[in-house]
Chain A
């Protein structure tokens, strides 16, 4: 009985301090649809609940706003666009048109019906090459009360496991709990220690399940942080779309050894055949 109780305790005790028991709001990205050379449509969806099994039913929330800010190579300023929630398809996806050089930040914000909880969600899209990273966009001027998580580099068209990221809560300093959670589709949750400036390092771990899929396959990893302010509990998330690492698994020593060994065997065989033939 004691062993069973111990097992239950271990099983239900979270390995991190900030389990968003009440769930969180996050943005997931669907598969990119290529329209023409340099243009694509990225379907995005807002989900709510316990990650990763979110619900598209957002009826528990009030005041939901979804918007995105676009910065193109050719433009110096961010362009703000609200998404009409009526444009959602049957699966809850909303299309965002992406052009070559675009950097896009997507935001979603909602509160619980009793207004005791505030949910902020953020993600980014950078599908095509851009010349230089844009200046930061200040979302607080557009959505008051939005708690913004940061991932640096802010834009990457091909985020991979195994690559170190700088993550944090923008403008928070010492005011927030100094940890952040990384929730992953395939891996156990990981807690990230943040420094006094509100930033820390996070390296998405190598994922065997993702490695077994195609090179184009991706998975969602969610960074979540919580903060209490004026009696309101703020839950903020940042969704990362991660691909398997392209370079981490390349073993050059093994490659060179196999190449050399084969070359030696073939060379020996050719020399043997040539000698036999009287060359």
Chain B
């Protein structure tokens, strides 16, 4: 089993575990650093973004309460998230996230249909990557505004309300009710209409572009802050790099920095999801290495790259 096949197997297992595990009594808590959507009935764990926003373990509470025992609860939940993040880092995105897996399935479907991936200019890519930080700031500020500045409570969980995973992931549990417009009041009407528009936009985008949503994912932005402290590392041996740019061509989110880096060993960029496709495609022995606690998880090699090419041709 090569790296790509291993990844597919782990993704499938994670998808089944996180989407249906709750039905078998598995409870992984509310601090998962991946899109295990809480709106999926019977899921095994909840995405940390929901906890981060809401009133039990998140920002939606008066500032004075944050400096009381409530603040300790926030810290405890954040500590659980931090522990999981430090343990597996971006592997949560590339190997475990069910919504990431769904995107990979859509990309695989596109390839089966013989449709080429859409490309965009570097300048466009550079502009778009900031959106995830804007979303992250929004999902922190809006709950604070609800609790402290009297913003209407129907803006609660602002990111969850517009997240495309909310309507799409419950489909796997047989629920279609989030594909709806809520006419309770003008705010619910606006937010659900926005949710439908964004879901359609991202679904089409995810079909034509690999990991399209990950470019905008605020959880990826949050995870990237802890890259330098985590156990998962991505190293480049710059002296053995042949400059073939295979890493850049095979990256689902078009990261250029791995190819362009000529000095630094650490090439884990904020957009990287540790899918390891770059290392798998790299033909130089030991040039790109993913490590976990100083031990190699996967090291690029000529043989692995050759097998990958041969595997593709025989298909």
User: Contact check: which of A214, A245, A258, A266 meets B153 at CB < 8 Å?
Assistant: A214
In the complex, A183 Cα to B196 Cα: how many Å?
Answer: 38
User: Looking at chain B, what size class is its interface with the partner chain?
Assistant: 20 to 34
Confirm or deny: B152 has a beta carbon within 8 angstroms of a beta carbon on chain A. yes
CB of A267 within 8 A of chain B? yes
Q: Which of B162-210 contact A (CB under 8 A)?
A: 167, 176-177, 179-185, 188, 192-193, 196-197, 199-201, 203-205, 208
Closest to B201 in A: A266
The reply to whether B205 and A266 contact each other, CB–CB distance below 8 Å, is yes
Q: Given A214-B154, A216-B153, do A254 and B201 touch, yes or no (CB 8 Å)?
A: no
Known: A252-B179, A270-B208, A279-B118. A211 touches B200 (CB 8 A): no
Task: Determine if B156 is an interface residue (Cβ-Cβ < 8 Å).
Answer: yes
For residue B111, CB closer than 8 A to chain A, the reply is: no
Which B residues touch A217, using CB under 8 A? 153
On whether A249 and B188 interact (CB within 8 A), knowing A215-B153, A215-B154, A259-B179, the answer reads yes
Q: A259-B196, A263-B203 are in contact. Are A249 and B184 (CB under 8 A)?
A: yes
For the complex, is B23 an interface residue (Cβ under 8 Å from A)?
A: no
A213, A215, A274: which contacts B156 (Cβ < 8 A)? A215
Number of interface residues of A (CB under 8 A): 30
Tell yes or no: A234 within 8 A of B by CB. no
- Pick from B116, B152, B183, B205: contact of A249, CB below 8 A: B183
Contact A250 B118, CB 8 Å, known A258-B196, A262-B196, A263-B200: no
B113-161 interface with A by 8 A CB criterion:
116, 118-119, 152-154, 156
Complex CA distance for A249 and B193, rounded to whole angstroms: 13
Report B-chain residues with C-beta under 8 Å of the C-beta of A5: none
A45 to chain B, nearest CB (A): 24
Contact B118 A274 (CB under 8 A): yes
A20 to B204, CA, bound (A): 61
Known contacts A214-B153, A259-B196; A250 and B204 CB within 8 A of each other: no
Q: Which residues of A sit under 8 angstroms from B183, Cβ to Cβ?
A: 249-251, 254
Chain A residues near B176 (CB-CB < 8 A): 252
A255 at the interface (CB under 8 A from B): yes
Q: Given the complex, which residues of A lie within 8 Å of B199, measured CB to CB?
A: 259
Contacts A211-B184, A279-B116 given: A255-B200 contact, CB under 8 Å?
Answer: no
Contact with B along A251-279 (1 / 0, CB 8 A): 11011101111110011001001100101
Tell yes or no: A11 within 8 A of B by CB: no
Q: Contacts of B118 on A, CB cut-off 8 Å?
A: 270, 273-274, 279
9 contacts between A and B (CB under 8 A): A211-B184, A215-B153, A249-B183, A251-B182, A255-B179, A259-B199, A267-B204, A273-B118, A274-B118
Across chains A and B, which 5 residue pairs bring their CB atoms closest together, nearest first?
A214-B153, A262-B200, A255-B180, A263-B200, A250-B180
